[in-house]
Chain A
């Protein structure tokens, strides 16, 4: 982009809105694309909940939306699996990885560390456009012959490798793999930028221990991404070779469709190892940014410093590190060496310690605070609640002996939707409510926001809490219906209840989308610092400009959590209950939470 040739007001539409290299515009693009994908993923889940809650009943809406995937208003069994697969893929990768990290890392990293822009605007733009292309391919795969990928979002071979095994493993799976390869490239380009920007472009005075926790969480997330995504790419490539060229990395001794396949010597377990080497860190790629965002919000809205800033960073580092050595807990029942199982149980349960520290620190931050309940704050409290509720059941699943009986049941579905799905979404939505004024220069409506929160939290617990009971009753996941088993006859009521809550949750999100679109276009104009926050992004103007700060970038003199700091007389140091990072330290004043 050549800004010196024309003043940037006159920049053509194409470069301002489409091929923008400005981090704030790219952030908006990620947010909107992510939300569109999220809405599609959400709708899919509502549709297959209809089948689970009312098995075999005919619905007009299913016929209308699914077309050839349904017959007489009832979805087909293999297309149910396609919906489940695409729901998982879209939610985990497109909404909660690209949508969440892409939006907030792009928006907040330069603004909060005091940088003009990302390290490479060009790579950043590429990162978005790879994501966009990947999203489009993923959506196109819904319409191809045989249907979309149907082997579960974990695409275990041989099911994902053989079109004879399920129709979705034909062209649909090919497109899935292409889309994911592009997605991984996008994610890596993003992560490179985030890491280098944070390490190299901080403004004067912004030491690592003065970074807001958001930035720390984005940094650790990006590092985890750089380490684990390439391994998924390797796994996917070998799968492509097996599918398209007839190699035998994952396949061996298969008799299907009346003939013996010529593959020999491979092992599907190898794929599981490679997949979960990314797959588990991926959980934290989703979770850590959400934790970072809510740490910031809880501190700002409680008008208190975040409790245990250094412990919070250490915990995130510990979680990031441990996440890379626990993948085996997804494979306790694959016949792995029992000793290896014991090791993975040990490392997995270790993660509970930093997680517990984080929860207690959140709660202590609230203690003796002066809490303003904005929708962002409500969602942050919701996140702490889901993080506890979902995290605790992880102690059951992470224990190899207990996992044998609940592995791949609805207990798991309940667990990961609460701890990863809800926490990730709550963190993302909290971030949107909090930084909407920074993104769009306008305010969201608080009353609609509150209504959105209450409907969301009530309905999502209504959906996922009962799933634990289904799991303890022995119901496996990814079942099209439970009515084939006398064993599960009495459980239909639970499924029906869950479906009603799912419909409610869907309706609740419509309120949010309405609020979002309305406020982005017509909402009241935002002031520069609506939440009276300390961090640097609130020192920039409401109107976006290239380079973020006119003139010099401000120098930073203190950590970002000086809320309600008092002097000896018991008055606020600056007369207000917050001290922005750009205010120099007073005489004898200690930085970083010293009194």
Chain B
């Protein structure tokens, strides 16, 4: 019934619109105008609206920054993340002025040179000087951005050398949860493969491998010591997942059949971050950022960053794999 009423209503609206349009066109034709002709007055009106739009657009931008600026990710909680944020700021300081200036020119020229019967447009078809100018300027700016960007990229992507003290942690994705495994005392992760998945051995760890005996599997959340580099190894059991830890500016895909890696050094503990964000409930989080199925939107694991002592205490309480 509702559908029927809706359809009738839509038909009525269309019929009315047709009639109105017809009347409007008849009136225009009677007054002797070609209705598709665009008069100087009409052009001016649109040009004026373009200027209004320009102001509104900038206003909307500023309003969003003012209103939502505080909701953005807090200060980076990892060492390399500070560099990423700096690079982001440099890029933004380049992008935003370009955005504003080009828009001003675009809309100002549209407004200023809107149609007039008396003026003639300038026949100006090319200028090598100008074109050189605006090829070279972006090239120089981009060279700077590329160089700064790449030096950051290289820093982020350099693996930790095995001699430095670090935590080795494996994160494994499956529909729709995360599993985490610490390398244990020997600092080595035991072999793992989907073939070994059975019953409680949900991560598919090879029981016969000596290295796996002291591995520690944790659920629900994993802890990291502040100031110590963490070497992550990522795996997936079924489809692609992506381990995304926004507060640490870290992300890496988890690929079935392939091990990927990433490392960072946490710099701010959860407790400190609670203070900084003035949010009692603040938690670091690991979430999935690659479409992986129906419950993709709800695949998360908490991360706790704490002092090295607390971390070691917590880790000692976790069971070793071999003990199960």
Q: Is there a direct interface between A and B, measured as CB atoms under 8 Å apart in the complex?
A: yes
Tell whether, in the assembled complex, residue A407 and residue B251 are in contact, meaning their CB atoms are under 8 Å apart.
yes
Given contacts A395-B95, A491-B71, contact A407 B289 (CB under 8 A): yes
Question: Chain A residues with Cβ under 8 A from B278's Cβ?
Answer: none
A197-B40 Cα distance, complex, nearest whole Å: 40
Q: Determine whether A4 belongs to the interface, using a CB cutoff of 8 Å to chain B.
A: no
Tell whether, in the assembled complex, residue B21 and residue A473 are in contact, meaning their CB atoms are under 8 Å apart.
no
Tell whether, in the assembled complex, residue A395 and residue B145 are in contact, meaning their CB atoms are under 8 Å apart.
yes
Given contacts A399-B149, A466-B68, contact A77 B35 (CB under 8 A): no
**A25 CB to closest chain B CB, in angstroms?**
24
Count chain A CB atoms within 10 A of each CB in B46, B57, B92, B119 and give the residue with the most.
B46
A360-B64 Cα distance, complex, nearest whole Å: 27
Q: Determine whether B239 belongs to the interface, using a CB cutoff of 8 Å to chain A.
A: yes
**Surface stretch bound by A, among B109-117, B180-188, B216-224:** B109-117
Interface string of A355-377 (1 = CB under 8 A from B): 01101111110111111111000
Tell whether, in the assembled complex, residue B126 and residue A404 are in contact, meaning their CB atoms are under 8 Å apart.
no
Tell whether, in the assembled complex, residue B123 and residue A461 are in contact, meaning their CB atoms are under 8 Å apart.
no
**Surface stretch bound by B, among A101-109, A120-128, A282-290, A475-483:** A475-483
Tell whether, in the assembled complex, residue B126 and residue A385 are in contact, meaning their CB atoms are under 8 Å apart.
no
Given contacts A254-B194, A304-B124, A396-B88, contact A159 B251 (CB under 8 A): no
Q: Determine whether B242 belongs to the interface, using a CB cutoff of 8 Å to chain A.
A: yes
User: From A55, which residue of chain B is reached at the shortest CB distance?
Assistant: B297
Interface string of B126-156 (1 = CB under 8 A from A): 1100110011001100100110011011101
Given contacts A81-B294, A518-B21, contact A399 B255 (CB under 8 A): no
Tell whether, in the assembled complex, residue A371 and residue B252 are in contact, meaning their CB atoms are under 8 Å apart.
no
A260-B149 Cα distance, complex, nearest whole Å: 42
Interface string of A398-417 (1 = CB under 8 A from B): 01111011011100000000
Partner of A335 from the list B72, B256, B258, B298 (CB cut-off 8 Å) is B258
**A318 CB to closest chain B CB, in angstroms?**
10
**B294 CB to closest chain A CB, in angstroms?**
4
Tell whether, in the assembled complex, residue A524 and residue B73 are in contact, meaning their CB atoms are under 8 Å apart.
no
Q: Determine whether B227 belongs to the interface, using a CB cutoff of 8 Å to chain A.
A: no
Tell whether, in the assembled complex, residue A158 and residue B153 are in contact, meaning their CB atoms are under 8 Å apart.
no
Question: Chain B residues with Cβ under 8 A from A480's Cβ?
Answer: 294, 296-297
**A65 CB to closest chain B CB, in angstroms?**
10
Question: Chain B residues with Cβ under 8 A from A388's Cβ?
Answer: 98-99, 102-103, 106
Interface residues on B, range: 35 or more
A362-B296 Cα distance, complex, nearest whole Å: 43
**A210 CB to closest chain B CB, in angstroms?**
13
Tell whether, in the assembled complex, residue B123 and residue A307 are in contact, meaning their CB atoms are under 8 Å apart.
no
Q: Determine whether B87 belongs to the interface, using a CB cutoff of 8 Å to chain A.
A: yes
Partner of B238 from the list A165, A400, A450, A564 (CB cut-off 8 Å) is A165
Q: Determine whether A503 belongs to the interface, using a CB cutoff of 8 Å to chain B.
A: no
A491-B21 Cα distance, complex, nearest whole Å: 42
What is the size, in residues, of chain A's interface with B at 8 Å between Cβ atoms?
Answer: 134
Given contacts A334-B255, A341-B157, A486-B283, contact A404 B49 (CB under 8 A): no
Q: Determine whether B322 belongs to the interface, using a CB cutoff of 8 Å to chain A.
A: no
Q: Determine whether B307 belongs to the interface, using a CB cutoff of 8 Å to chain A.
A: no
Q: Determine whether A538 belongs to the interface, using a CB cutoff of 8 Å to chain B.
A: no
**A4 CB to closest chain B CB, in angstroms?**
38
Tell whether, in the assembled complex, residue B142 and residue A370 are in contact, meaning their CB atoms are under 8 Å apart.
no
A8-B320 Cα distance, complex, nearest whole Å: 85
Given contacts A333-B252, A474-B73, contact A158 B120 (CB under 8 A): no
Tell whether, in the assembled complex, residue A349 and residue B145 are in contact, meaning their CB atoms are under 8 Å apart.
yes
Question: Chain B residues with Cβ under 8 A from A454's Cβ?
Answer: 49, 53
Tell whether, in the assembled complex, residue B138 and residue A345 are in contact, meaning their CB atoms are under 8 Å apart.
no
Given contacts A457-B53, A485-B285, contact A357 B42 (CB under 8 A): no
Question: Chain A residues with Cβ under 8 A from B35's Cβ?
Answer: 443, 445-446, 524
Question: Chain B residues with Cβ under 8 A from A215's Cβ?
Answer: none
Interface string of B15-26 (1 = CB under 8 A from A): 001100110110
Q: Determine whether B208 belongs to the interface, using a CB cutoff of 8 Å to chain A.
A: no
Tell whether, in the assembled complex, residue A389 and residue B297 are in contact, meaning their CB atoms are under 8 Å apart.
no
Tell whether, in the assembled complex, residue B257 and residue A267 are in contact, meaning their CB atoms are under 8 Å apart.
yes
User: From A366, which residue of chain B is reached at the shortest CB distance?
Assistant: B109
Tell whether, in the assembled complex, residue A593 and residue B249 are in contact, meaning their CB atoms are under 8 Å apart.
no
A55-B56 Cα distance, complex, nearest whole Å: 29
Tell whether, in the assembled complex, residue A158 and residue B291 are in contact, meaning their CB atoms are under 8 Å apart.
no
A408-B242 Cα distance, complex, nearest whole Å: 9
Q: Determine whether A302 belongs to the interface, using a CB cutoff of 8 Å to chain B.
A: yes
Count chain A CB atoms within 10 A of each CB in B105, B153, B158, B287 and give the residue with the most.
B153
Given contacts A443-B35, A526-B36, contact A595 B73 (CB under 8 A): no
Given contacts A255-B197, A476-B289, A480-B296, contact A524 B125 (CB under 8 A): no
Given contacts A384-B106, A407-B251, contact A458 B300 (CB under 8 A): no
Tell whether, in the assembled complex, residue B122 and residue A304 are in contact, meaning their CB atoms are under 8 Å apart.
yes
Tell whether, in the assembled complex, residue A370 and residue B2 are in contact, meaning their CB atoms are under 8 Å apart.
no
Q: Determine whether A269 belongs to the interface, using a CB cutoff of 8 Å to chain B.
A: yes
**A356 CB to closest chain B CB, in angstroms?**
4
Partner of B84 from the list A369, A371, A402, A527 (CB cut-off 8 Å) is A402
Given contacts A252-B256, A401-B156, A408-B242, contact A371 B68 (CB under 8 A): no
User: From A162, which residue of chain B is reached at the shortest CB distance?
Assistant: B239
Given contacts A371-B113, A465-B64, A526-B36, contact A563 B123 (CB under 8 A): yes
Interface string of A133-169 (1 = CB under 8 A from B): 0000000000000000001100011110010011000
Partner of A478 from the list B193, B246, B296 (CB cut-off 8 Å) is B296
A445-B80 Cα distance, complex, nearest whole Å: 56
User: From A594, which residue of chain B is reached at the shortest CB distance?
Assistant: B125
Tell whether, in the assembled complex, residue B260 and residue A334 are in contact, meaning their CB atoms are under 8 Å apart.
yes
Tell whether, in the assembled complex, residue B120 and residue A577 are in contact, meaning their CB atoms are under 8 Å apart.
yes
Question: Chain B residues with Cβ under 8 A from A405's Cβ?
Answer: 81, 84, 246, 249-251
Partner of B251 from the list A266, A310, A404 (CB cut-off 8 Å) is A404
**B173 CB to closest chain A CB, in angstroms?**
12
Q: Determine whether B211 belongs to the interface, using a CB cutoff of 8 Å to chain A.
A: no
Interface string of A568-595 (1 = CB under 8 A from B): 0000100001000000000000001111
Question: Chain A residues with Cβ under 8 A from B293's Cβ?
Answer: 78, 81, 159, 165-166
Given contacts A399-B149, A445-B21, contact A372 B291 (CB under 8 A): no
Partner of A367 from the list B61, B71, B109, B298 (CB cut-off 8 Å) is B109
User: From B113, which residue of chain A is reached at the shortest CB distance?
Assistant: A369
Question: Chain A residues with Cβ under 8 A from B212's Cβ?
Answer: none
Tell whether, in the assembled complex, residue B149 and residue A409 are in contact, meaning their CB atoms are under 8 Å apart.
no
- Interfacial residues, chain A to chain B (CB-CB below 8 A): 60, 64, 76-78, 81, 151-152, 156-159, 162, 165-166, 251-256, 260, 264, 266-269, 302-311, 333-335, 338, 341-342, 345-346, 349-350, 352-353, 356-357, 359-364, 366-374, 378, 381, 384-385, 388-389, 392-393, 395-396, 399-402, 404-405, 407-409, 443, 445-448, 450, 454, 457-458, 461-462, 465-466, 469, 472-474, 476-482, 484-487, 490-491, 494, 514, 518, 522, 524, 526-527, 530, 561, 563-566, 572, 577, 592-595
* 29 A-B pairs with C-beta separation under 8 A: A78-B294, A254-B194, A269-B255, A305-B125, A311-B126, A333-B242, A334-B253, A335-B255, A350-B142, A353-B142, A367-B109, A371-B114, A373-B47, A381-B106, A396-B88, A396-B91, A396-B95, A402-B87, A404-B249, A405-B249, A446-B35, A447-B24, A461-B57, A466-B64, A478-B296, A514-B14, A530-B36, A563-B121, A566-B120
Closest 9 interchain pairs by CB? A593-B125, A252-B257, A335-B260, A474-B246, A78-B294, A373-B46, A338-B157, A255-B194, A401-B152
5 more CB-based (< 8 A) A-B contacts, given A158-B239, A311-B131, A514-B14: A158-B238, A165-B292, A307-B125, A309-B125, A352-B142
